[in-house]
Amino acid sequence: MGVAMVHEDAIDRADRGPRALRRLGLAAVAATLVLAGAVATAGSSQADLSLGGVPRATCADGDLPETAQQGRVPAADYASGRAAQGYRCNTVEVGHHGKRSQLGSGGYKVQRYTDVTGRTCAYYDSAMMVGLNLPGLLTGGAGLGVVVLDMTDPAHPVRTANLVTPAMLQPHESLLVNQERGLVAAVMGTLATAPGVLDVYDASQDCRHPRLMSTTLSGVMGHESGFAPDGKTFWTAGAAGFTLTAIDLADPRRPRVLKTRTGVVYHGLRLSDDGRTMYVANIGSPSILTGGLLEGAGLDVLDVSDVQDRRANPAIRTLSRLSWDESSIPQVAEPFTRDGRQYVLEVDEFSDLFGDFSRINSPRSPVGAARIIDVTDPRAPYVVSNVRLEVHDPLLRADVMDDPGARMIVRSYTGHYCSLPTRDEPRIAGCSMIGSGLRLFDISDLAHPREVGYFNEPGPNGGAALSQPAWDVEHRQVWYTDLDEGFFAVGLQGPAAALLP
């Protein structure tokens, strides 16, 4: 449960080299050092918490509730045609964009932004991998790259643009919009990593037609990302590229690398309101001697104040590392406050693809789902509660593995992304739980979360709700995409709507 470390002084000295090739070379060297280097132990938090599902939602008359275990779409529902009707509880479909495509019409992120004129837009990446949505382009679907929707009328989303610069064609999980400055940014990525082509757009004046500010190699390596709340620093996580890079976007026309840390396998990056503390989904450290590929997955809490303050030769300091029982692949940790304390809502994706290879997508696979972590003391975080569905229960895994929505890794009863409508005192969370669709959780009592609604439109081969949801609080909606079904604007009703600010 440890994470291997590379001596920061050596990294700092190497970072002073001006050339991107030198940084990439260092990444390769550092990765080798990680394999042979010393391991620093980390904290572990199980807290004797249940791995079963949270209490089920109470659905209203007229809803289309699930027919089996919480989060499950059983094979019998496909055979009978029931699955084709979808499953809805305290939710209603308001709007939709895109056409059904087994090769992809919705990707990993949905972002929402309101420009200076008061017009609101949605942004979503259109495919898991570049090229997979080509059939959708040819048949009038979403098109390539990042899709821009005018959401003036959420019931009728209007596509106004497709961003098709290099990174936007293949942003993987990196697409983000900064609310403070209206910057739309992404770095080229793949399931592993890719050369860090960074695209930056300005949507502040007209969100329907963002203006390209720059396309550069400043991302170093790409896969996931993070944005400082002030919009002046964009962070890229290279994942299999073993890099974490900070880019100065004070002038979005001239991105500038501030720091590259190597020897890490990081995923989603989220920052505190002041931009000085980073909450990192740590995929793990190379450890081939244990019979797997990576170990020690969990949460890293980093002090990045040197970068935020623009100090010369900035250091990035690890304040703590936390792991938990039944971890899979940490995806992202969204920060929020409650009653003066600091928390993150962390979600794991898929099963553990990098641990014991004999357990990949099997009844014995760990499924991390999601959890709430107290990070008030950044040096001593701990898990407060688990946020799971019944299909994530290890005791039920064997029963659900033959369902169409569980047979493939990309279509499985696992987590992928969670988001919150606000960082300040949120009472509801929305999670894309892949085969289980969009799930809504009441987090008023952080120690005892419960489900309050869901929306699942499974395709013929199982659902694939992969995207980070975006919130439209004013209209009591949440927006997300399904890989097969495209973009949805989902209205919240009853107890789910009552939890919005």
**Mean model confidence pLDDT for the chain:** 88
State pTM to two decimals.
Answer: 0.90
**In terms of pLDDT, which residue wins out, 4 or 427?**
427
Q: How distant, in Å, are the alpha carbons of 2, 155, 287, 499 from that of 445?
A: 31, 33, 38, 12
Kindly tell me if the per-residue pLDDT of 388 is higher than 60: yes
pLDDT, tens digit, 9 for 90 and up, residues 459-500: 877 788 999 999 999 999 999 999 888 899 999 999 999 999
pLDDT, tens digit, 9 for 90 and up, residues 116-152: 999 999 999 987 766 665 665 555 567 789 999 999 9
Q: How distant, in Å, are the alpha carbons of 79, 169, 308, 322 from that of 297?
A: 38, 29, 26, 8
**In terms of pLDDT, which residue wins out, 22 or 351?**
351
Among 322, 474, 348, CA closest to 418: 348
Q: Backbone phi, then psi, for 364, in 5-degree steps?
A: -100, 5
Which residues touch 85 (CB under 8 Å, ≥6 apart)? 64
Task: Return the bridge partners of 263, or none.
Answer: none
Helix (H, G, I), strand (E, B) or coil at 294: strand
CA 87 to chain centre: 23
Kindly state the average pLDDT of the residues 408-417: 86
* Percent of the chain whose predicted confidence (pLDDT) is above 90: 73
Kindly state the average pLDDT of the residues 371-389: 97
Domains of the chain, CATH where assigned: 49-106+326-500 (no CATH), 165-323 (2.130.10.10)
Kindly tell me if the per-residue pLDDT of 68 is higher than 90: yes
Kindly state the average pLDDT of the residues 428-436: 96
What pLDDT, on the 0 to 100 scale, is given for residue 357?
64
In sequence order, what E strands does 305-401 have?
317-324, 329-338, 341-349, 370-374, 382-387
Kindly tell me if the per-residue pLDDT of 11 is higher than 60: no
**In terms of pLDDT, which residue wins out, 129 or 412?**
412
**In terms of pLDDT, which residue wins out, 434 or 325?**
434
User: pLDDT grade, residue 15 (50/70/90)?
Assistant: very low
What pLDDT, on the 0 to 100 scale, is given for residue 48?
81
pLDDT, tens digit, 9 for 90 and up, residues 73-99: 999 999 999 999 999 999 999 999 987
What pLDDT, on the 0 to 100 scale, is given for residue 352?
77
Helix (H, G, I), strand (E, B) or coil at 351: strand
Kindly state the average pLDDT of the residues 207-216: 98
What pLDDT, on the 0 to 100 scale, is given for residue 408?
76
What pLDDT, on the 0 to 100 scale, is given for residue 341?
98
Among 368, 467, 426, 388, CA closest to 111: 467
